[in-house]
Chains A and B, each alone.
Chain A
Amino acid sequence: MTSVRTLLEKPWIWSFAGALVVWLATVAFTGGYGAGGMVTAALSLAVFTVIVGVGQMFVITLGPGNVDLSLPANIGLASAVAMKVMGGSDSMIVVGLLAALACGAAIGAINYLLIWALRIPPIIATLSASFIIQSVDISYGRGLQIKPSPGFADFTNRQVLGIPVLAMLTVVFTIGAALALQRMIYGRSVLAIGQNIRAAWLAGVHVGRIRFLTYTLCGALGGIDGALLAGYFRGANVDIGNEYLLASIAVVVIGGTSVAGGKANVPGVWGAGLFLVLLLTMLNTFGVSAGVRLVLTGLIIVGVITAAGGEKAVR
């Protein structure tokens, strides 16, 4: 009994519960058909949300006002860069991934540079940056070889016993992220800055360096996500990252991370990622039209946020 209670007190349990409910509802609707396949599909799609979600989580944990709005543009550009560098040949896969990583990290670093040099809120800095990245992508991606190499496409789609390889790797990555957050000086510093930036500074935390690292990390994750997305969907395009603006913020908040900063939750990102993907699967299974699907997705997100409630006035 007490173990159940401690489990219920975990902020991340609700996102997994939500995912389970949505999955059960869909399975009940299909009469048990495709229950396993649905989990496989959900895992392989949730991966992309989880990767950017973790990046966004670190940024949001830095405190009120910290959010990276440039992720969609970043993902779009990095996917094009990765596919261009790979040039359709398997021998260049690692180089392509590194290029995407570097591209994303550079965007993250530029974001922080704008925040620091212009002393503007991160929302505006990442917004202005995303305007420019978007244009670079449109102009760079035009008439480009945008197909992934066959080996890379296979790798991003490979499954072992119904579990996508990417999902396994992402689980390893998120465990690493959780350790970094709770056990490493870097993560503790991020949390400290989010709780009280001035107190953290007085306590000797290198505030500027940690914030720079966090934005760069988030950008790099966006970059690698772009490359993986392009591999999974067998092609890059400008709009490939569009849905990840809402998704990255939503998984962080639904997953139990405080929008006021200073309190982060890695497992919740997985739960919320699965919840969002399964929600879409459910609405598709029910056969609702695109309009109804959008309305319901929006209402459910607003509903979940309302139920979870905020703690402090934040933006």
Chain B
Amino acid sequence: MTAIAPGTLPKSSPRGSAARARLLRGLLPALSLALVLIAIAWLNPRAISYFGFTLMLNLAIPIALATIAQMFVIAGNELDLSIGTFVGFVGCITATWLREAPLLGIVVLLGSIGAYALLGALIHLRNLPSIVVTLGMSFVWQGLAILVLPKPGGKAPDWLLSIMSFKPPYIPFPILAALLIAAVVHFGLMRTSYGVILRGSGGNAAALRRAGWSLLRTKIVLFALTGLFGVLSGMALIGITTSADANIGNGYTLLSIAGVILGGGEFVGGRVSPIGAVIGALTLALAASPLLTFMHIPPDWQVAANGAILIIVLAARVLISRRER
């Protein structure tokens, strides 16, 4: 499997076609987003406006945050199958305790980030398969969400509502938020020295260990970051929907994995891209519902559209990688 991982040649000769292929590969996430946007503009030109984008991309903010959360675990060669129910759990806390008893709410949310950090430590210390552990945890989060909020309801705190309905001049809020998220995470993970260590823990764990870095610590940090962005995603989601439901985030697990891969991330080797992940999330958010609605395709096929986009982009990536060799 690892023998056929495409593009593992960081220092390949800068010859023309190979370099072009690499550039094309890097631009692939942006190209797919552009393609979806062009399709929407062609089908419904009025959607390409300040209000159009605000409406179409509103739900993209929590999806982008969940995708970033997933990206951190994937950077460490793990996978989080509980992020969806975790987002739902955070949503339920946000719509109840964070409004009624802010201090308790904050403590619980910080505690849940701590739980993620502990999970990272557990997975590292006992060498556990993260798929199984997080699948188990997905039950835990869902159960807790039901305990907190047995019936759909609750209400988002007012300050959160006003943040999420912020209307900046000229640039729609979702786009501004996406830019901000991408920039912050890109700087933290790709431009700082500890970010390199974090990605290295997925790329070559043995080398990092020999160089004296604690793999336990990198795993804890990666999982805690996943928890942090999961919390942000749940809060953003409730800020938009205004009320919560224990199942509200269930679809996010698969969406977030798809977003990371769509954005150019690889499953192994710590190869991830924060900017790509955000673009991947935007593409999925746009393609899943607005595009289908404009094409008059019934919502039954929404999930299939996500799968099809994933397959098409991956196929394109294979074609490009083949030229890269």
Contact = CB atoms under 8 A, between A and B. Distances in A.
A binds B: yes
Interface of A: 63-65, 67, 114, 117-121, 123-124, 127-132, 134-136, 138-139, 142, 197-198, 245-246, 249-250, 253, 259, 289-299, 301-302, 305-306, 309-315
A142 B140 contact: no
A294 B127 contact: no
A280 B317 CA distance: 44
B122 interface: yes
Interface stretch (B58-66, B155-163, B167-175, B294-302): B294-302
Nearest to B266: A121
B132 interface: yes
Contacts of A246: 135-136, 138-139
Nearest to B145: A291
Contacts of B77: 313, 315
Contact of A139 (B1, B137, B140, B298): B298
Contacts of B140: 294-295, 298-299, 302
Contacts of B128: 305-306, 309-310
Contacts of B127: 309-314
A40 B4 CA distance: 48
B101 interface: no
B131 interface: yes
B255 to A, nearest CB: 10
Nearest to B299: A138
B318 A119 contact: yes
Contact of B3 (A124, A198, A245, A313): A198
Given A139-B298, A198-B3, A306-B122, A121 B129 contact: no
A249 B129 CA distance: 11
Given A118-B314, A315-B129, 12 more contacts: A65-B1, A118-B311, A120-B261, A123-B257, A127-B254, A127-B307, A129-B307, A131-B308, A135-B304, A291-B143, A295-B147, A315-B79
Q: Which 6 A-B pairs have the closest CB atoms?
A: A131-B307, A294-B143, A298-B139, A135-B304, A295-B143, A298-B140
B308 A289 contact: no
Contacts of B54: none
B144 interface: yes
B254 A131 contact: yes
A135 B307 CA distance: 10
A124 B256 CA distance: 12
A101 to B, nearest CB: 23
Contacts of B150: 291
Nearest to B253: A127
Contacts of A135: 300-305, 307
B306 interface: yes
A43 B302 CA distance: 38
A134 B1 contact: no
A174 B78 CA distance: 31
Interface in B280-317: 298, 300-308, 310-311, 314-315
A245 B318 contact: no
B1 A128 contact: no
Contact of A245 (B135, B142, B147): B135
Chain A: interface secondary structure? Answer: helix
12 contacts: A65-B1, A118-B314, A124-B314, A127-B258, A135-B303, A139-B301, A245-B135, A253-B132, A291-B145, A294-B146, A298-B139, A302-B137
B45 interface: no
Contacts of B141: 298
Nearest to B76: A315
Contacts of A295: 139-140, 143-144, 147
A128 B307 CA distance: 4
Contact of B311 (A128, A290, A294, A302): A128
Nearest to A63: B1
B136 A124 contact: no
Contact of B6 (A119, A124, A259, A313): A119
A294 B250 CA distance: 15
B205 interface: yes
B70 interface: no
A67 B135 CA distance: 13
A134 B143 contact: no
B132 A301 contact: yes
A299 B308 CA distance: 35
B147 A124 contact: no
Nearest to B130: A315
Contacts of A301: 132, 135-136, 139
Given A118-B315, A293-B143, A130 B135 contact: no
Contacts of A136: 304
Interface in B93-150: 122, 126-133, 135-147, 150
B72 interface: no
A73 B133 CA distance: 22
Contact of A64 (B1, B300, B301, B304): B1
A250 B132 contact: yes
B223 interface: no
A298 B307 contact: no
Nearest to B140: A298
A314 B139 CA distance: 22
A121 B258 CA distance: 12
Contacts of A64: 1
A249 B135 contact: yes
Contacts of A131: 254, 258, 303-304, 306-308, 310
